[in-house]
Amino acid sequence: MPIYVKDWDIVVPGDLLAEGDYTAGPYVYKEDNKLYSTTIGIVEQRKGTIRVVPLQGPYIPKVGDIVIGVVVDISPTAYVVDINSSYKAILQASEVVPPKRNVLAEDLTKYLDVGDVIVCKVMRFDKYSDVLLTCKGKDLGKIEGGRLVKITPAKIPRLIGRKGSMVNLIKKETGCKMVIGQNGYIWIKGKDKKLEALAEKAIRKVEREAHMSGLTQRVQNMLQSERGS
Amino acid sequence: MKDKEATLILPDGRRLDGRRPGEIRDIKIKVGILENADGSAYVEQGNTKIYAAVYGPREVHPRHLALPNKAIIRCRYHMAPFSVEERKSPAPSRREIELSKVIREALTPAIFVEQFPFTTIDVFVEVINADGSTRCASIIAASLALASAGIPMRDLVAACSVGKINGVLVLDVTDVEDKYGEVDMPFAMMPGKGEITLFQLDGVLTLEEAEEAIKMASKACMEIYEKEKSALKAKYIEARKAVEEVV
């Protein structure tokens, strides 16, 4: 069972990773007992499973994901939300209209208007119908102020870090409030513009160096030296 | 049609641009150069210069084109009006429409289309300067643009043309060799898989010549494949080096 790559190696589509009894993890496919990468990413192997962590790629919704979206259209009973995905997202108006009111009789722009940014959760998604969102819950709903940063959705897991280590570090060092959407949008709100800019800088650094180990340490060093100066 | 055969191979066995018959032109590849596209690439092969941009997977418009079991791939090959000696009308010509189809079909087997039902992947290929083998260079650029967009693929696609000029089989034909030579054979494959995705032949080859031509093209595709891989990785390896230098 030869394996041709090691952890942290950068691979591209079609790269031969291993031969034999390995399990193909995400972004890996098996053909004739050989494992190949399907995307540009980093190799990771655990207990006989080889996976590729992508460095680039579209956002594919998953039920339960927190996403940040922009309202792009309003229909009589629902909002259409752009969540930076290949699939359209719908937020039912009943989610934001107070209960016992007739949705059809309401002016929906009172609650959300085109261009508003909202934090939502993916309630239903099956690739064959539109994404259904909900914004009932803690920390969900319309957001105002602060700044919105967009990065490659593929790098969101890296920004969150192991058990949230990376995002907690940035929050702690800058004192900013951060909401991370799995679809690649990050909303930052801090005490002042300077701290927000610093948090954004840290996010950009994570995006740029996502394929290298020891990143948390480097981000910490950067944040501390920038804050000190 | 041609009353006299043009001299395309010099007495010393070299071609007009100084290459040996089995040599390809120098290839320059850049990946991820267009900010607005999801993925992009630039390929320069001698004087052939091509940009490719990929958008998607995204919603299909008009919607009736969407397929319930897989993504559709749309491709537009276009030559800039200034890409050839005499101004070319910017409207899509018969030839461009055909090449769009041919390029699309050369790329489709490499993409896992069934992962994105109801969506489209749009590929735009823009020829900035044309000097032969534009469809092969377009396939190289488009395949790299797809990979840089992070679209799951079975393998990268590499392409190279083979020509026959003055009775000699040559690799990577230029515009002049294409116009005055006897044969032009564009060829694309997934080198890692050994699968051919494009095979056209304009002219006449004997069976032995055809076999030899395929051998030559496959070898050239392998060479281009390695360049494609290192071009894709270049950005990340540079970033890694920059960090290591600081440490």
The alpha carbon of residue B240 is apart from the nearest alpha carbon of chain A, in Å, by 7
User: Per the CB < 8 Å rule, is A212 touching B193?
Assistant: no
Question: Residue A46: CB partners within 8 Å, gap ≥ 6?
Answer: none
Q: One fold for both A10-54 and A66-143?
A: yes
- For residue B121, the chain A residues in CB contact (below 8 A) are none
- Single-letter code of the amino acid located at B159: A
Interface residue B221 vs chain A (CB under 8 A): no
Residue A91's DSSP bridge partners are: A79, A133
Domains of chain A, by residue range, sit at 10-54, 66-143, 147-228
How confident is the prediction along chain B (247 residues), in pLDDT tens digits per residue? 555 678 899 999 999 999 999 999 999 999 999 999 999 999 999 999 999 999 989 999 999 999 999 999 999 999 999 999 999 999 999 999 999 999 999 999 999 999 999 999 999 999 999 999 999 999 999 999 999 999 999 999 999 999 999 999 999 999 999 999 999 999 999 999 999 999 999 999 999 999 999 999 999 999 999 999 999 999 888 888 888 777 6
Closest chain B residue by Cα to residue A57: B150
Smallest CA-to-CA distance from A51 within A7, A21, A107 is with A7
Burial class (CB in 10 A: 0-12, 13-18, 19+), A196: buried
Provide the token pair at A99.
Answer: 């209960």
- For residue B153, the chain A residues in CB contact (below 8 A) are 13-14, 38-39
Distance CA A44, CA B65 (A): 38
Give per-residue pLDDT as tens, A54-100: 999 999 899 999 999 999 999 999 999 999 998 889 999 998 888 88
Q: Residue A229 pLDDT > 80, yes or no?
A: no
Tell me what the pLDDT averaged over chain A comes to: 90
Distance CA B122, CA B139 (A): 14
Closest chain B residue by Cα to residue A36: B154
Distance CA B3, CA A206 (A): 65
- For residue A208, the chain B residues in CB contact (below 8 A) are 239
Closest chain B residue by Cα to residue A41: B150
Query: How many CA atoms lie less than 13 Å away from B59 in the CB half-sphere?
Result: 13
Other beta carbons less than 10 A from residue B193's beta carbon? 17
Helix (H, G, I), strand (E, B) or coil at B171: strand
CATH code, B27-246: 3.30.230.70
Interface residue B226 vs chain A (CB under 8 A): no
Structure confidence at residue A69 (pLDDT): 94
Structure confidence at residue B238 (pLDDT): 86
User: Per the CB < 8 Å rule, is A27 touching B152?
Assistant: yes
The alpha carbon of residue B139 is apart from the nearest alpha carbon of chain A, in Å, by 15
Interface residue B109 vs chain A (CB under 8 A): no
Tell me which CATH homologous superfamily contains domain A66-143: Nucleic acid-binding proteins (2.40.50.140)
* Partner residue opposite A56 with nearest CB, options B149, B237, B243: B149
Give per-residue pLDDT as tens, B125-170: 999 999 999 999 999 999 999 999 999 999 999 999 999 999 999 9
The C-alpha angle with vertex A55 and arms to A133 and B153, in degrees rounded to 5, equals 90
Helix (H, G, I), strand (E, B) or coil at B30: strand
Question: Residue B165: CB partners within 8 Å, gap ≥ 6?
Answer: B8, B9, B15, B173, B177, B180, B181, B182
Smallest CA-to-CA distance from B119 within B75, B68, B54 is with B68
* Mutate: best of A28, A38, A62, partner B, most B CBs <10 A: A38
User: Per the CB < 8 Å rule, is A14 touching B153?
Assistant: yes
Domains of chain B, by residue range, sit at 27-246
Provide the token pair at A45.
Answer: 């192997």
Closest chain A residue by Cα to residue B247: A218
ipTM of the prediction: 0.88
Smallest CA-to-CA distance from A38 within A49, A53, A21, A58 is with A53
Distance CA B46, CA B31 (A): 18
Give per-residue pLDDT as tens, B97-127: 999 999 999 999 999 999 999 999 999 999 9
The alpha carbon of residue A195 is apart from the nearest alpha carbon of chain B, in Å, by 24
Long-range contacts of A16-20 (CB under 8 A, 24+ apart): A16/B192, A17/A43, A17/A50, A17/A52, A18/A50
The alpha carbon of residue B97 is apart from the nearest alpha carbon of chain A, in Å, by 26
Closest chain B residue by Cα to residue A219: B243
DSSP code of A32?
T
* Partner residue opposite B150 with nearest CB, options A29, A54, A209: A54
CATH code, A147-228: 3.30.1370.10
Residue at token pair 């909900």: A134
* Fold entry, domain A10-54: OB fold (Dihydrolipoamide Acetyltransferase, E2P) (2.40.50)
Distance CA B217, CA A48 (A): 37
Q: With contact defined as beta carbons under 8 Å apart, do B164 and B212 qualify?
A: no
DSSP code of A107?
-
* Mutate: best of B69, B153, B237, B241, partner A, most A CBs <10 A: B153
